[in-house]
Structure 1
Amino acid sequence: MGEALLILTLTPVQSFIAEARRTSDLYVGSQILVQLVKAAAEQIGPQRLVYPAPLNGSLPDDLPNVLVARVDGARAEQTALEACQALQAKWKELADAARKALETYAPSDRKWNDIWDRQVESLWQVFWVTVPMDSLEYRQAYLTGTAALAAVKRSRVFPQVEEPGPKDSLSGRREVLHRQGESEKDYWSTVAANVGPSRLRPDGRERLDAIGAIKRFCPLANRSFPSTSTVASADFLERVRQKAREQLGSYRQIIEWVLGSFLYSVRPHDQQWPYDGDLLLLETLTEHALRDSYGGLERPQDLERARQALRELYRAAGERPSLYYAVLVLDGDSMGAHIRELLQRADPEAEHRQFSRQLTQFANEVPQVMDEVFRRATWPGHSASDGSGIRGRDFLVYNGGDDVLTFAPLSVALPMAKAMAEKFSKTVQGCSASGGVALVHHRYPLSGALAAAREAESIAKAVKGKGAVAVTLMRRSGQGPAQGIA
């Protein structure tokens, strides 16, 4: 037997990523998917992959949720099964690490374990097809395989998993983790008291199921991802480093004095401002807001001094930070049609591989594009900040295949979308990309912000000729969204 074409994918994807209340939930969810697909790809063998294509022998940092590979026909099914096992093993590794971390804060019991095992074991479904290539050209094998995979996914049978009791804060669909004879609020209050508000809201106000707990406590969650407040104020902060460094230092000293031990760092390497961007917003400097976000403050009597110092920082900078930020999604236009056109050429497999390499090259260049756009907006005339500041790539959630999901400050959202779309069209021959941008208040629900960005992307995709960017403004006043095409 000769070779076979293997196509593999998994589900759920969009719903898994979208179950997020914090930007870090979104980032970790995306990276979990990347790790699962990467485990399968490495088991298959990167050199066997047609899509995504490795560059210089290495897989890209982010991977799409579909793999296409040419494998040994005699072991095609075994290769697929081993890839599935590798994917599930990686999921178990991440879940076990999160479980171990969580149990150090509040030991589990039989009830807790039953909920955890049920939810972790029933989440992922992996679909694959293999097509023998003994008598088929690549074009026929690929079209046959994609059609068969679509049919398998349409006819899939979902396991019926009962989820009784109160539901979790992220999905609202699964039973919240708790122990026998203890309320959900009491259990999560205990956990929150041990981990602090940077990881979990205090007093049991966030109650997670196993999937949400994995997002919060697996090793991937150890990276501090910018909050919506940090994104909204990021360009302001970088300009303040240049124009009002002394006033920034004075304000930092006062806010450290007011919050005391309740203050936590999110960027320890940042020597000038290691804290969340919400502390650069005057609306945060109320006793109620600080207790809600930080769990308390040691010297509330000096809060007015902090407000005055922040106003002085605004005056020295000549501006205030925005209360709004952007969610940006970018997606290649008519990718399916383009692949079908490539398959009609003289050497369809070589064309598909070349197309895949171009997508990988684009993905590899996106972080540099984001850095450059952000630098131009915040450090004009400088090659970079002092090295401790924020970079454009710090807002990047996911960047695999022809898809990009990122946050951005308002001042760079459209330039960033334009720069990435231009990079895509230059790198991926004969293709364009369209984007959706949602401009939202930093306290607007994250799920709504993501939905607005996806809706804007759909509007851009409907433009004749595409290569468009649609913008939606979600007004906090309660008025309907304002939309436009850029």
Structure 2
Amino acid sequence: MKLCIFTFSPVQSFISQSRKLLDLFNSSFLLSYFTERLIEYIRNKGLGDVVYPVYAPGLKSTELAGYPNRIVIKSTQDLCERLREVFKKTWEDTYNHVILSLGLSTGERLQFEKHVDGYFESFCECQDFIDKKQWLETMELCQVEDAEDYGYTYDLVERFLGAKKSFRAYRGRVDEGIYNGEFPDGCTLCGERPALAIDWESLRRKKKLLLSSGEKLCGVCLTKRFAMEYFREVGRLNKKGFSSTKDFAWAPFKNRLIEDKRNDRNRDVISRLEYLVGLVLGKESMPIEYISADWLDPKDVRTMMEEAEQGDRKYYEELLDFLEGVFYDKEITGYKKPDNSYFGLLMMDGDNMGKWLGLKRELRKEKLSEDFHRRFSEGLSEYAKSVYQKAQKKKPCVELVYAGGDDVLAVGYPTSLLSFAENIRGDFSKTLRLGKATTSAGLVVGHESENLRFLLEELREAEKLAKREGRDRICISVVMRNSQPVSVVLKWNDLQLFKKITEYFKVKKVAEHSKDSLISQNMPYALREELWLFKEDADSYKPIVVSLLKRLFARKSKLKKEEATVLIEDLEKAGFLKDLNSLEHLFYIARFFSKLEEGNEAVCV
């Protein structure tokens, strides 16, 4: 009997090189699709028993990316060569569909194939089962933790696979694509390869909903952008797109429109909107549930009108007149154009996965065995199902991009994402049936027009920071427009403190004609001014810091003395009096979230 592990790369760079949320979804789904096809091949051919991940036929009905880029198989034969061939063919089928759908010439196709050929690398290692004595001989060691033969074999295969992955073949590429006598500039999405030397304006007119003005892509990024068309053709997806960043920034407003339609409020106005948007898109009508928030913003509609064909502009003008006239007339409809332009990205994954699955029993408290790996794999599958079900209940405020293995990637309205993260965090240890299993998360909030690739890099850094600070934490990072990211790391239990401060910042009615918040809106800046002198060694000056905080709350808040004292005690317990930068950031981010929540509690929580 043999144990085989198969994986492929790149993964993180392929996902992070995204300009639209559609790119993010397509890249995640494509990687999951590779694994799904490999597992189906193994099962259909009866080549072995897949230990990880658990095959989930029901996943196809969810339209969710739910498989990791890694497969562990028990087999009587070495499967590496066959799996590499299946992997290579799956990638070729995907990009060949794009080539055919675009109708590229022979020369253009050759350039395209230079970009995609060899982009993905697969790595595989198969070994016969070994026992403890053979493991010690191979590793030239004297002792090792007790484990089943499966555990020793798994450890050795992992080591050999890691060695293989450390050696990457260099593939030189000479790109000779020329269009109208000129070499193309770099791909506007990844910047790693030149854009294809083709007639981009003609392609943009043909695929106007998939290509934005000025975009010129390489073969890899074009495959990523058009992958959803391929998935629909092979019957793997019914999706026709993915929500935009504005859809999530305006999720409370869009949710309100959906509820109004459901409850027969503003019926004629919403029907008129559906008709006019449908007219622009060449349809009889477009249901409000599927109308992108871009079509609800007069500014965006005007921009799209300027880029539209001359003959189509009358439809845009009619929609624009309706939005600027009746639709946003508060006296007629009660609708006000949303002020918020910020959305969120959430990334979560399990802590210490290597320790849970490795030879050492430090966390596991039992011998490494095939049974444990199977139970762990089944638990991760249950966790992904639970995450999916909870995300469905939060639509359109939260939408999953990926949920597989111990990883979760989601996008949504910031406050909704935070409550979603808190909700699913407890499911991890529950479904794995391991009390000490924890997760860490990064949550980044950015402007809907911010560079998505930059936000994804910040998201990964936020998750890493949560792990560096001790794991079992969440790092919340806010990227204001034209500003540096502001981050704070919180233990999951300290989210209640964060929520309390957020509530204090909310502007509420305090008298007949007066509104105010319990904590002054400039409190973050007041903290900076008052406490900057003690930031280097706050712990040594704790009595002074506490005294200054009491004075600040007396001057800058309407909290009762007892409430202020309790708040300061809670801040001390959470460790914020030792790190005054984090204290300042905590109040800054809480104030930001309070603005998002004001007036939106009923429609996006």
Q: Which amino acid aligns with 2:248?
A: V
Instruction: Mark the runs of 5 or more structure 2 residues left unpaired by the alignment.
Output: 133-148, 177-182, 233-238, 491-605
**CA distance in 1 between partners of 2:282 and 2:241 (Å):** 12
Partner of 2:338: helix, strand, or coil? coil
Partner of 1:328: helix, strand, or coil? strand
- Alignment counterpart, residue 423 of structure 1, candidates 422, 427, 449: 427
**CA distance in 2 between partners of 1:288 and 1:319 (Å):** 17
Partner of 2:206: helix, strand, or coil? helix
Q: Which amino acid aligns with 1:175?
A: P
Partner of 1:297: helix, strand, or coil? helix
Identity %: 23
Which residue does the alignment assign to 2:443? Answer: 437
Which residue does the alignment assign to 1:201? Answer: 212
Contact preservation (8 Å) 1:248, 1:313: no
**CA distance in 2 between partners of 1:269 and 1:125 (Å):** 45
Counting only pairs closer than 5 Å after superposition, residues 13-412 of structure 1 correspond to structure 2 as: 13-45=11-43, 48-54=49-55, 62-72=66-76, 75-76=77-78, 79-103=79-103, 108-135=104-131, 137-163=149-175, 165=183, 166-178=185-197, 184=198, 187-196=199-208, 198-202=209-213, 205-218=214-227, 219-220=230-231, 223-243=240-260, 246-247=265-266, 249-250=268-269, 253=272, 257=276, 261-263=279-281, 271-281=287-297, 283-285=299-301, 287-288=302-303, 290-292=305-307, 297-298=313-314, 303-312=320-329, 316-317=334-335, 320=338, 322-340=340-358, 341=360, 345-346=366-367, 348-372=369-393, 374=394, 390-391=395-396, 395-412=399-416
Deviation at 1:21, TM superposition (A): 1.2
**CA distance in 1 between partners of 2:28 and 2:285 (Å):** 25
Which residue does the alignment assign to 1:379? Answer: none
1:35-85 Cα distance to aligned partner (Å, 9 max, x none):
11222222333961121123699899621111111111xx21xx1111111
**CA distance in 1 between partners of 2:309 and 2:19 (Å):** 17
Deviation at 1:411, TM superposition (A): 3.0
**CA distance in 1 between partners of 2:315 and 2:260 (Å):** 29
Deviation at 1:252, TM superposition (A): 6.0
**CA distance in 2 between partners of 1:254 and 1:293 (Å):** 19
Instruction: Mark the runs of 5 or more structure 1 residues left unpaired by the alignment.
Output: 179-183, 375-389
Contact preservation (8 Å) 2:26, 2:224: yes
In structure 2, relative to structure 1, the CA distance for the partners of 1:242 and 1:100 (3 Å cut) is same
1:160-201 Cα distance to aligned partner (Å, 9 max, x none):
2234642212111112222xxxxx4xx0111111222x1112
In structure 2, relative to structure 1, the CA distance for the partners of 1:132 and 1:480 (3 Å cut) is same
In structure 2, relative to structure 1, the CA distance for the partners of 1:150 and 1:344 (3 Å cut) is farther
Deviation at 1:272, TM superposition (A): 3.2
Partner of 1:126: helix, strand, or coil? strand
In structure 2, relative to structure 1, the CA distance for the partners of 1:9 and 1:294 (3 Å cut) is farther
- Alignment counterpart, residue 479 of structure 2, candidates 440, 453, 474: 474
In structure 2, relative to structure 1, the CA distance for the partners of 1:261 and 1:56 (3 Å cut) is closer
Which residue does the alignment assign to 2:526? Answer: none
Which residue does the alignment assign to 1:377? Answer: none
Deviation at 1:240, TM superposition (A): 3.1
Which structure has more RCO (C-alpha within 8 Å, separation ≥ 6)? 1
Which residue does the alignment assign to 2:452? Answer: 446
Between the two proteins, the alignment pairs up a number of residues equal to 443
Deviation at 1:294, TM superposition (A): 9.3
Contact preservation (8 Å) 1:80, 1:128: yes
**CA distance in 2 between partners of 1:269 and 1:420 (Å):** 37
1:365-421 Cα distance to aligned partner (Å, 9 max, x none):
21111123x2xxxxxxxxxxxxxxx4566x211111011111011230110111121
Deviation at 1:292, TM superposition (A): 4.8
In structure 2, relative to structure 1, the CA distance for the partners of 1:25 and 1:458 (3 Å cut) is same
**CA distance in 2 between partners of 1:135 and 1:485 (Å):** 44
In structure 2, relative to structure 1, the CA distance for the partners of 1:264 and 1:462 (3 Å cut) is farther
**CA distance in 2 between partners of 1:471 and 1:152 (Å):** 36
Partner of 2:343: helix, strand, or coil? strand
In structure 2, relative to structure 1, the CA distance for the partners of 1:174 and 1:58 (3 Å cut) is closer
In structure 2, relative to structure 1, the CA distance for the partners of 1:369 and 1:254 (3 Å cut) is closer
Q: Which amino acid aligns with 2:124?
A: W
Which residue does the alignment assign to 2:556? Answer: none
Deviation at 1:261, TM superposition (A): 4.8
Which residue does the alignment assign to 1:382? Answer: none
Contact preservation (8 Å) 1:262, 1:294: no
**CA distance in 2 between partners of 1:235 and 1:309 (Å):** 20
1:268-324 Cα distance to aligned partner (Å, 9 max, x none):
997334321123335435x33643589963167653542233423697257836311
Q: Which amino acid aligns with 2:37?
A: A
1:315-342 Cα distance to aligned partner (Å, 9 max, x none):
7257836311101101111111121245
Partner of 1:363: helix, strand, or coil? helix
Q: Which amino acid aligns with 2:36?
A: K
In structure 2, relative to structure 1, the CA distance for the partners of 1:167 and 1:130 (3 Å cut) is same
TM-score between the two structures when normalised by the length of structure 2: 0.67
Contact preservation (8 Å) 2:380, 2:431: yes
**CA distance in 2 between partners of 1:269 and 1:470 (Å):** 43
**CA distance in 2 between partners of 1:276 and 1:432 (Å):** 36
* Rg (Cα) greater in structure: 2
Relative to structure 2, which stretch is displaced further, 89-98 or 326-335? 89-98
Contact preservation (8 Å) 1:247, 1:313: no
In structure 2, relative to structure 1, the CA distance for the partners of 1:36 and 1:138 (3 Å cut) is same
